[in-house]
Chain A
Amino acid sequence: MIQWLKDLLQSNLVENSPGARTTRPAPAAPTPPKRVRAEQGETLAKQLALVIDLNVCVGCHACVTSCKQWNTSGSAGPLADFAPYGANPTGTFFNRVQTYEAGEFPGTDTIHFPKSCLHCEEPPCVPVCPTGASYKRAEDGIVLVDYDKCIGCKYCAWACPYGAREIDEERQVMTKCTLCVDRIYDEELPVDDRKPACVKACPTNARLFGDVKDPNSEVSIAIRERGGYSLMPEWETQPANQYLPRQITPMAHAAASIAPKATPPAFRSSPQD
């Protein structure tokens, strides 16, 4: 009762929401209050994102289970599970691996396609939130939900064309990929472990993680040199996460003994505008 009154009276109600907390307390040195929320249309200096390499994803779902394990135990959890050992198990996941088939038989290609929140630079889910629970972080561009402020109206999920948000039907709050915000800044972890759980779990290195605003980062180089593209560019959401298209690599020596496949035109080889 008192807490909600305090919240209502606070003038900086929305600006200083802690959101997802890092496991370490803030440094003791007095720092000026930091602006947490990015404004609509603001260009951020840093934008963390994933780049998914469709050449090497084998559809093993290791990223899905690793994501679920980390996040159900972390600041985003617990994530609901209904009938996990029953005939029809369902629950909250931040990451899904889907499978598509392209082309005509027998020259078909099977593409495994991981999908999570794309952390759009113009996220349509944020301005529609009536409470301000959904926000984009000014410091690193991660789109987050403050679970203590979410009223569970689901409007943000309607406003996401990618279906990246899933309501947790047990806690009745909206949940989504946090880019493991409670892990990537944790100074108690070895430096190599300060990556999203899905990235750490991928056995084929199909998931790259980094700052897409830094032109020399691994992700920026991959996007630039390997034709990284955005999903549904028609809605101008500017997804931060990008995908590397499947490219058929001719084999230098064995080429003569292997019949060439007739599908290369199926895949994009240049970035989509």
Chain B
Amino acid sequence: MHPAFSILFFTTLAGAAQGLVVALALALLAGVAMDATFLLQALAVGEVLLVAGLGASFLHLGHKMRAWRAVLMWRTSWMSREVIVLPAFIGLVGAWWLSLWLGVTGVWAQVLPILVVLGALLLWYCTAMIYACLRFIQEWAHWLTVANFTLIGLSSGSMLACALAALGQQDALLQVLAPWATEITLLAGLSRWASLRRNADLRAISTLQSATGIQSAKLVQKSMGMSAGSFNTREFFHGASQAVVRNLRWAFSLGLFVLPLVLAWWAFSNAALWPWVLASVLQAPSLIAERWVFFAQAKHPQNLYYQTVG
């Protein structure tokens, strides 16, 4: 598949924002002491990332003014469900921010962070199912897609939370978040590695024989029926060499999982703060690379029909 940058930015920005907000909500629910101003600022960072992600998703649409129509088919379409859950989640985070700003106490102070955690989980599920429900894109049609969207979002968000806590000198919060961020990053790395292994071993269910019904062992396309490409050749092929895909796979594995874990180990053993900031900075471009590879590795069966210009 051709990786569209609108979707790469949307899913990574929203994923990191969800992870950040979840980390803060869980810390608050666990009773970790943190500065009220810091919490408001950190939540605002999450909200800005979410709105930026929403904006990026609009760039994917051919008719932006009709976007509201996308809420209609929630009974059958995961994209429709995502379109409903994303603004609802943004509203929920906004409501929580407002309640903290107003200093609301009592039951809402507990209920809102719980709702925010549940909303984030639901949004990851909807986003990932958009890809995982396409059964003939074998690289995507697996529960690992849901696991990776969730775990990578949690990892990047909690690393960002650690970086913000380090910058805001929230020692108590960092003490709690650091092990959480490290463990979840390790888990995300293992889960993503599992999907890379799975992709490497996949055998395509559709073949040129099943696509055309011509049962000859040797069958080649001589012409795709056009000389200069079409939507089919632009949307479903990434156009980069295998070397680029391979190198990006290594790059994101290092930048998203290995190096942040090394930096976390450095931070633990030297009681340093800067490694958390560096880890988060390293993860940002690696997130885009990871999502790019997620698209590039997906082989659409329609590509069988578009092999030779002829």
Give residues of chain A (215-253) contacting chain B, Cβ–Cβ below 8 Å.
229-235, 243, 245-246
On whether the beta carbons of B305 and A98 are closer than 8 Å, the reply is: yes
Q: Considering only CB atoms, which chain B residue lies closest to A86 in the complex?
A: B228
Residues of A within 8 A of B215 (CB): 265-268
On whether the beta carbons of B223 and A128 are closer than 8 Å, the reply is: no
On whether the beta carbons of A129 and B221 are closer than 8 Å, the reply is: no
Give residues of chain A (90-113) contacting chain B, Cβ–Cβ below 8 Å.
90-93, 96-104, 109-111, 113
On whether the beta carbons of A130 and B79 are closer than 8 Å, the reply is: yes
On whether the beta carbons of A235 and B220 are closer than 8 Å, the reply is: no
Which of these, A93, A110, A155, A162, contacts B302 with CB under 8 Å? A162
On whether the beta carbons of A128 and B77 are closer than 8 Å, the reply is: yes
On whether the beta carbons of A102 and B231 are closer than 8 Å, the reply is: no
On whether the beta carbons of B302 and A161 are closer than 8 Å, the reply is: yes
| A24 contacts chain B at the CB level, 8 A cutoff | no
Task: Determine, out of A28-36, A145-153, A196-204, A206-214, the stretch whose residues face the partner at the interface.
Answer: A145-153
On whether the beta carbons of A159 and B134 are closer than 8 Å, the reply is: yes
For chain B, give the interface size range: 35 or more
Task: Determine, out of B18-26, B61-69, B88-96, B184-192, the stretch whose residues face the partner at the interface.
Answer: B61-69
The docked-state distance in angstroms from the alpha carbon of A94 to that of B80 is 27
For chain A, give the interface size range: 35 or more
Q: Considering only CB atoms, which chain B residue lies closest to A89 in the complex?
A: B228
Q: Considering only CB atoms, which chain B residue lies closest to A127 in the complex?
A: B76
Residues of B within 8 A of A263 (CB): 216
Which of these, A159, A173, A233, A246, contacts B63 with CB under 8 Å? A173
On whether the beta carbons of B76 and A128 are closer than 8 Å, the reply is: yes
| B300 contacts chain A at the CB level, 8 A cutoff | yes
User: Distance (Å) between the CB of B42 and the closest chain A CB?
Assistant: 32
Q: Considering only CB atoms, which chain B residue lies closest to A148 in the complex?
A: B66
User: Distance (Å) between the CB of B218 and the closest chain A CB?
Assistant: 6
Which of these, A4, A129, A160, contacts B68 with CB under 8 Å? A4
Give residues of chain A (48-66) contacting chain B, Cβ–Cβ below 8 Å.
61, 64
Task: Determine, out of A69-77, A164-172, A178-186, A187-195, the stretch whose residues face the partner at the interface.
Answer: A164-172
On whether the beta carbons of A167 and B231 are closer than 8 Å, the reply is: yes
On whether the beta carbons of A98 and B223 are closer than 8 Å, the reply is: yes
The docked-state distance in angstroms from the alpha carbon of A162 to that of B136 is 11
**A128-B79 contact, Cβ under 8 Å, with A8-B68, A100-B212, A111-B214:** yes
Q: Considering only CB atoms, which chain B residue lies closest to A104 in the complex?
A: B218
| B35 contacts chain A at the CB level, 8 A cutoff | no
Give residues of chain A (106-162) contacting chain B, Cβ–Cβ below 8 Å.
109-111, 113, 115, 124, 127-133, 149-155, 157-162
The docked-state distance in angstroms from the alpha carbon of A255 to that of B96 is 85
| B100 contacts chain A at the CB level, 8 A cutoff | no
User: Distance (Å) between the CB of A81 and the closest chain B CB?
Assistant: 11
On whether the beta carbons of B135 and A101 are closer than 8 Å, the reply is: no
| B224 contacts chain A at the CB level, 8 A cutoff | yes
Which of these, A101, A109, A173, A229, contacts B213 with CB under 8 Å? A229
Residues of A within 8 A of B216 (CB): 102-103, 109, 263, 266-267
- Can you identify 12 A-B contacts, CB atoms within 8 angstroms? A4-B66, A98-B225, A99-B223, A99-B225, A102-B219, A151-B61, A232-B301, A233-B210, A243-B213, A263-B216, A265-B215, A267-B216
B residues with CB within 8 A of A? 1, 60-73, 76-80, 83, 130, 133-137, 205-206, 208, 210-216, 218-232, 235-236, 300-303, 305-306, 310
A residues with CB within 8 A of B? 4, 7-8, 13-14, 40, 61, 64, 83, 87-93, 96-104, 109-111, 113, 115, 124, 127-133, 149-155, 157-163, 166-167, 169, 171-173, 229-235, 243, 245-246, 263, 265-268, 272
